[in-house]
Each structure stands twice: as structure tokens, then as C-alpha cells.
Structure 1
Amino acid sequence: MKRRLLAALIPGLLILSSPLPAQQSFFVKPLAEKKVAELPAGDLFWRIDTFDTKEQAQAAAGPLGLMAEYDGKVWLFTLGAAGVVSKGGSKVAEMGPIPRIEAKEYLLRINEAGGPKGSATAAHTHPGSEAFYVLKGELSQKTPHGVTRLTAGQGMVGHGTDTPMVVSNSGSEDLREFALFVVDANRPFSSPAPLQ
């Protein structure tokens, strides 16, 4: 039986589903976002911390921090210099340096993403930089540079602006991951792209 794949563009996010007997789909859900006019000088890193309360996270956020509640925890995602400590937080990960982009306005966005074994996004690009942090399962990212795999507790920086990619669950259990973005706010967040 031939697999027929259906790709849909849903509010700027690419989703891939397969009409096989067990419907499998990769989901993408925005958790937090903000637009900023400029980025600080120097190398940029994404830092992920957890906090006991929303108030603590908001107090530590600063201009480039995004707070979200997820899976019973309060998370703070901060774009900035390496090695900075968020007062009152517990450091989870730091990923970088993030490939810099030039834009008139920047969108910082944190997505939750994942799906069951074998699920995958459609081939797509983003107008900026992406980083990944895996909470559960195994993530694979296929690009023209090859395939990279991450498991729970691992993070990585993507290849930069307009790199075609497919992100998939290559493990044996459900995948849950954070995708952290710095993109051009004046371009479509996600665009279909060929990838062989």
C-alpha cells in the first residue's frame, strides 16, 4: 500500500500527517513569543531554566526572556550571552552560539512539538535560527547537511536561516521537544521547501 502524505500549513506552522490506519501526526504548538527591535551584540545562546513560580520567572525574564507553563513546570527561555545565571532559577540547558540574522524586527518564539513514533513534519524552512531541546523520546533533524539525532536531555543549534529540514520522531516512544526560534518577524514563520 502506498503511503499518501498530506501536508498542511496551519497558522504559519507545517504539520505532516499520514492517513494510515493509526493516524500519526507531528504537532507544533506555540508556547510563548515576543517581537523585539534589536538583538544584543556578541554571541547569542538560548538558556532554559525552570522556576518555582510564574512571578519568579517573570522577574528574571528581562527583555529577551519568554516564560511558559508546561507539564506542571514554569519555564524561562532567555536569549543572551553564554554563562549567565537566572536569579532564582534552576538551569536546564544552554545552547549556542545561535546563528545571527539581520532583520528590521525579530520574532522570538518557543514551540512545543512532537508526536508518536514515525511522525514527521513536512519539509520546510524558517527565516532565522532554530535550536532544539528534547524532553522525551528521540528527535531527528534531516537537512542538506545530513541527519542529527537527539535524545531526552540533549539540545542542539540548527543550521540557520532558510535551511530546508524535516523534523521527526525517530524513537520508539512519543517525542516531546522545545523548538526555540530567532526569526525575521516580517517574513512567513515557516515555508514549504524541497528536501531530498
Structure 2
Amino acid sequence: MKQNLIAALALGLFLSPSLAGAQQQAQEPKYVVKPLAEKKVSELPAGELFWRVENFATGAQAQAAMGPNSLVAESRGKVWLFTLGPAGQVSAGGTKVAEIGPIPKVEASQYLLRINEAGGPPGTKTPVHTHPGPEAFYVLAGETSQKTPHGVNRVGAGQSMVGHGDTPMEVWSSGSTKTQSLVMFVVDATKPFSSPAKFD
């Protein structure tokens, strides 16, 4: 019995550091990206394109105001309508929050429009990656930064920025509080949405 107890204690001492390490790793804060809405379209509107970001009182009202290049999503207790189109337009019943653009053009036989929610505690970041088309950010809280070969851009709550397509990038929470952003994509639907990359 005594030998069994000694063996059990020895095994516990042997396993404890590994278990502690695993628990610590599981609790390590991360930059989290979550898809909210997406659709595929065969063509984009002509001319310069902007993302129009609007709030609606209900999901039904937002759905009723949707166009062929619109997406509805819910985030932070609000209903959002995202519409890709010309500048200066408004949707009936909506409250315009931002107009982001112009969005760089991408040529494809089919396009994927996607809205992601992204963010995390200060210092958390994405791996370096690329998308087959441009992305745009609207920051809801905190501060978001994006590094590309073109430099580093920082945007705070209530601000927006247009990113680059087919360009290595790293995105991170750069403020003193948790960041949360809505991220809008217009990408080539025939290619992988995201691919690992590195800076030269």
C-alpha cells in the first residue's frame, strides 16, 4: 500500500508541470476572428466601391433594406447592414455609421463578400497571412493595427481603414484595452480565403 502511495505521488509530481503548462496554454489570450455573414456574387457594381455600414432597429428591417451586394449581421447587441456600392447612398430606415473606401478593385469570375468580427486583449495578433482581395476595418472598441509591406496603420474606436489585397499582413490589438472590429472583405471566391505568408 505504501509503495502504491509513493508511486502515485511520484506520478503526480511528474505530470503536474505538464498539466499546469497545458492549462496555462489553454488560458493564453488570443486574437479571435469569427465569420458573421457571407455571400457569393458573380459581379460587382461599376465604378468606385465603398462599404456602407448602417445600423437598424431590427433584423427584419435590415433584411428588407438589403440589396444584391448587402450583408446583415449582429454584433455587440446591434443589427448591422453592410452594403458594397457607390459612395453617398443611404438605406431606408437605417442609420449610417460609416462609409469606407474606395475599396481596391479585384478581378475574379466570382466574388465572396464576407463580414468577420475580430479582436482580442492588448498584444494579441493574427499570424502573417494574405487574402485574395481587399479588406476594410471598422473598429468598435479599443485600437486595431495592421502591418503590411506598406507600413503600419492604427485605428481607434469609431474609425475605419481600408486594407490591401494579396499582400502579407499582420493584425493586432494595439491599444490598452481589448479591441473589437468588424472586417469587410471583397475577395476572389475561387481562391482560398486566407493563406499563410511572411514578410520579406
Q: SS state of the match for residue 139, structure 1?
A: strand
Residue in 1 that maps onto 2:53: 48
Residue in 1 that maps onto 2:186: 182
- Give structure 1 stretches of 5+ with no counterpart: 1-18
Equivalent of residue 106 in structure 2, options 93, 101, 106? 101
Query: In 2, distance between residues paired with 1:49 and 1:21?
Result: 36
Partners of 1:24 and 1:118 within 8 A in 2: no
Equivalent of residue 70 in structure 1, options 72, 75, 92? 75
Q: SS state of the match for residue 134, structure 2?
A: strand
1:24-81: CA deviation from partner (whole Å, max 9, x where unpaired): 2111000000000000110000010000111110111110010011221110000000
Larger Rg: 2
- 1:112-191 → structure 2 map (5 Å cutoff): 112-159=117-164, 161-191=165-195
Aligned length: 177
Normalised by the size of structure 2, how large is the TM-score? 0.86
Superposition deviation, residue 22 in structure 1: 5.7
1:142-190: CA deviation from partner (whole Å, max 9, x where unpaired): 000111000000001112x211100000111111001100000010000
Query: In 1, distance between residues paired with 2:42 and 2:104?
Result: 17
Query: In 1, distance between residues paired with 2:89 and 2:176?
Result: 35
CA RMSD of aligned residues (A): 1.3
Percent identity between matched residues is: 66
Instruction: Spell out structure 1 runs of 4+ moving beyond 2 A.
Output: 19-22
Query: In 1, distance between residues paired with 2:62 and 2:147?
Result: 34
- Give structure 2 stretches of 5+ with no counterpart: 1-23
**Which is richer in strand?**
1
**Which is richer in helix?**
2
Query: In 2, distance between residues paired with 1:47 and 1:21?
Result: 38
Residue in 2 that maps onto 1:30: 35
Normalised by the size of structure 1, how large is the TM-score? 0.88
Partners of 1:34 and 1:108 within 8 A in 2: yes
Query: In 1, distance between residues paired with 2:33 and 2:74?
Result: 16
Residue in 2 that maps onto 1:6: none
Query: In 2, distance between residues paired with 1:187 and 1:144?
Result: 22
